[in-house]
Every structure is written in C-alpha cells, then in structure tokens.
Structure 1
C-alpha cells in the first residue's frame, strides 16, 4: 500500500515559520506562524510520521520487531494468514489514512516475489538474467 502525503499526517511539537516569499502579509510583515501539521521539507516531518504510524500500529495490536525497527517512508508491505485478515487490515488502515492499495506484491528490493497457495518464494534469478541479457545480448 502507498500512503498518500505520508509526511503530512504526523503531528509536530511547536514549530514556527517565517512567511514564505510571495505570501507575506503586508500589514504584518514580521509576523511568524505556528504550524499545526507537518510539511514536506520540515526536518521533523519524518519523525512525526513515524510516531503517528507507530502509535496507530501499536494500538491495533501489532508489536515492534526486535531485529528491524525501521520505517521506510510511505510504502507499506504486509501479508496475512488469510485474505480476510489482509482485507481487514487494509480497511483499518484506510479508515485512518488516505492510501492506495498496490495489489499483490510482485517485486521488492530487486527480488521477484512468486506467491503460491501455501508459499512465498523470493527469486533474483529471472530479474538477474534479464539484466545480464541487457548487458550481454548474446545470452
């Protein structure tokens, strides 16, 4: 799934900003404004997004993994034991965030993902061989 405008979903502590060029208030040129939500380019925006999503997932019964505690921007890959659990999670996320579902995972981090009825098999073979054919046409 792809969360739309992910960095704009986070809540931030007190941050004040000057009036942007071209949007100055002529009556109050020295006035600064307090931001109510994160903006792209704001250095606190990634952390605010992480905090919001982490809080939502923990409230939903998820736990933090011991090995990989990272959050990668706005693309979320998830799976479940049944189509029902996957659909339920997608609906729950959609109620909280504006997002689009990207369908069944086929490629991830350069790996081709082949899903069967009872298995998921990552493979670099086909992707790698296509790359080799592009570099070495005689293969």
Structure 2
C-alpha cells in the first residue's frame, strides 16, 4: 500500500521559516516569512517527521518496532503474527491470519489516505513469490 502525501502528515519539531515563493508574494508584505507547522516535501525534516508520525501511530496500536530494523513493525496475537515493513511511503504487510491483514488495512485507512495495491510481486527491485 502507498500513503498519499505521506510527508505532509509529519509534524516538525524544529522552528522552520520559509520566504514567500516567486509568483505568490503578498504585495502588502513582500518581505514577510512564514513559520512552517507541518513537514514539506522539499525540507530535509519531512522523511523523519513522517516516520515519527507513522511509528508513533503503530506503537499506539500495539505494534512493536523491530530491534535491528527500525522500519519493521510486529504485532503478535496469540499464535499469529503480523509483519509491517515500511519503506518511505510504501508499506508491505503480511500475517499468518488474514483477519489481521484486514484489520491493519482498515486501521491505516482510518487515519491516512491510502492507495491499496494488488498482491505483492516486486519490492525494491526484488521478485516476491
């Protein structure tokens, strides 16, 4: 699945100010700068802010972050396991129980705008069977 406009969900921690872009300058205040409240795609803080937003959301929903791979999230439900792998704004997931996948899909769609993809055949250039 793909998170639409993922970086725009992130909240930045630092104070960041931007100048008015050419063509959108307010003639009454041509030298005014604006404080950035949310992450922007062109800012280096955006990927980190998105990751923090997503990981906080998953941790609040009983997922554990991987010990070695911090982009892997794991949820155990009795004898079943759910794995969620995040790569920037792309997420692949799988489980030993279909209902856990359905729950995850619904959970993500509740908060984020998502586009679900077909069954996974390639990921990061690797064929998946």
Shift of 1:110: 3.3
Shift of residue 111, structure 1, vs aligned partner: 3.0
Report the equivalent of 1:72: 87
- Structure 1 distance, partners of 2:111, 2:29, is 37
Q: Is it true that 1:59 corresponds to 2:57 in the alignment? A: no
Match of 1:29 in 2: 30
Range with bigger deviation, 34-43 or 55-64: 34-43
| TM-aligned CA deviation for residue 38 of structure 1 | 1.1
Question: Which of the two has higher C-alpha Rg?
Answer: 1
Q: CA deviation at 1:91?
A: 0.3
Alignment correspondent of 2:74: none
Q: Does 1:103 align with 2:104?
A: no
- How far apart in 1 are the matches of 2:36 and 2:93? 33
Larger % of strand: which? 2
Q: Which residue of 1 aligns with 2:49?
A: 48
Q: What is the aligned-residue RMSD (CA, Å)?
A: 1.3
Matches of 2:51 and 2:126, distance apart in 1: 26
Return the offset for 1:68: 1.1
Runs of 4+ in 1 over 4 A off after TM superposition: none
Match of 2:105 among 90, 93, 99: 90
Deviations 1:76-102 (A, max 9, x none): 010112221101100000101001111
Q: TM-score normalized by structure 1?
A: 0.77
| TM-score (norm. length: structure 2) | 0.82
Alignment of 1:123-134 (within 5 A): none
For structure 2, the residue ranges without an aligned partner over 5 or more in a row are 72-85
